[in-house]
Amino acid sequence: MFEQLQALPADPILGLSAAYQQDTNPLKVDLGVGVYKDEQGNTPVLSAIRKAQQRLHTEETSKAYLPPVGPAGFNEQMQNLIFGADHTAQQDGRVHTVQTPGGCGALRVAAELIQLAKPGASIWVSTPTWANHVPLLGSAGLQLKEYPYYDADTQAVNFDAMMASLEKVPAGDLVLLHGCCHNPCGTDLDQGQWQQVAELANKNGFTPFIDMAYQGFGDSVEEDAYGVRLLAEKVPELLVASSCSKNFGLYRERTGAISFMGSNATNADNVKSQILKVARGIYSMPPSHGAQLVDIVLGDSALHQQWLNEVAEMRERIKDLREALASALASTADFSFIPRQRGMFSFLGLSPLQVQRLREEFSVYMVDSSRINIAGINQKNLAYLADSIAKVL
């Protein structure tokens, strides 16, 4: 029955990673895969996580299944991290959180939930958006539409065009928004723009769906939650998909959550039951290890502070690298937009041909859109990278 299936091309980013691994050039630079790297090019285990692992190893007494909802402590801690412990929506019992296998799992569970509530519903995504949003949401049966977001000429949010498009989104549709550190362009809404989006959502009746994959990598853990918390004050319903891959360094542990805010506590309870049914039908029970580590870290005041310090170190290193790259390229062209952006990603504005030359002639690896992972830069490869970019411009 499978004879008619044809081989598919490799995923653009995963294929790029494989090509990088096979490259023998000692000067090669990997700016493709979206993982944080330190100055030595490693993706470290955070010290707070190491201590939590030691505690879990000592205290864990069973490997029995978790319930589909996941650890209650993890869900509560993630909810507080995203919404704030004192948010009125939480105090009113309108928010529930369910652990998922990573942020991808959260997106897919949400898509299946939406499909249950409104088969074939339309969800609007930014142009551009993270490429994996398309299969994760579309494969559930949702209809994907686009709204303009990034202006390549100004290297900024085209907010007027965005709002003009969202003005046409009808009640009952959903709008996917990046909570912070937009992937792939690194250009975020400011607080005033979030306020306008919240007012429009409330007026027109579309449902915001926030992808929060990089909380803490923008301005701070608290500041990066501004958009979510504002929307939770203004609209009756809200979905948030969150990930612990970047800010806790738990990439391979696949630790994430889906949070739902309802119009009232009864509505939220009803939706939670549907989320659990969806989860049960896809993967049955969630993985335990990463969620329990997050629960330990956030539930212990000393570890929580250590984690905040480590997130700040990663965030500030990325900001320093943005400044350094823009400075190294200053004599070549104006890249002053790079320090104005947030998170790990930026578009360099190169053509696919220039990206190909970088890969083939200089062993500098990035996706064809010229999106780069800033965290792939370090003091050893910065000058070589800047010189290579200058030669293809």
Known catalytic residues are 130, 211, 246
Q: What are phi and psi of 330, to 5 degrees?
A: -60, -35
**What is the 3 state secondary structure string of 327-388?**
HHCCCCCCCCCHHHCCCCEEECCCCHHHHHHHHHHHCEECCCCCEEEHHHCCCCCHHHHHHH
Candidates 243, 255, 194, 197; CA nearest to 217 is 243
State the Cα–Cα distance between residues 132 and 105, nearest whole angstrom. Answer: 12
Q: What are phi and psi of 177, to 5 degrees?
A: -125, 140
Residue 309 half-sphere exposure, CB side, CA atoms within 13 Å? 9
How many other C-beta atoms are found inside a 10 Å radius of the C-beta of residue 21?
9
Residues contacting residue 301 through CB under 8 Å, at least 6 positions apart: none
Candidates 12, 113, 91; CA nearest to 352 is 12
